[in-house]
Amino acid sequence: MAFETVSELRVRYAETDQMGVVYHANYLVWCEIGRTDFIRRAGKSYADLEREGVLLAVSDAALRFHASARYDDPIRVCTALTHVGSRGMTFGYRIQRADTHVVLVSATTSLVCINRDGRLTTLPRDVRSWLERAMLGGANDVDGA
């Protein structure tokens, strides 16, 4: 079974349009929250990866909208790492209302590894192995132990 993290938040007023509905671009921000939480719970932080010279850039994003979120709704972002390759990875997301479990958005983002000059590069072998373990294992048992 794949490892999945859950991040919870509440819709802020600034994330809504004039009608009180969440503006579509904010779902990408919530995906970033989920991705960052996933990596941290798997044993590292984005800052740790960057210190190791691993810079990740979003190369593709796809969102499918199922229902609307509104101001002050409780939100749950479920995140899983679905693919790890030699130069990047793909995350899947299920964004739902935390209280009703209604799926609002299903999404994926693909990230590639780049160097400090912004050029595509290979994921270091140890980082790729760690991510593969994270994809299948879970928090606490994926940090190389």
Over its C-alpha atoms, the chain yields an Rg (Å, rounded) of 16
**Cα separation values, 82 from 3, 33, 46, 106, Å:** 9, 17, 18, 13
Residue 56's H or E segment, with its range, is strand 55-65
- Cβ-Cβ contacts under 8 Å for 84 (sequence gap 6 or more): 123, 128, 131, 132, 135
Tokens of 44: 């590292």
Of the residues 17, 48, 72, 126, only one is catalytic, namely 17
Instruction: Establish whether 141 is a catalytic residue.
Output: no
The catalytic residues are 17
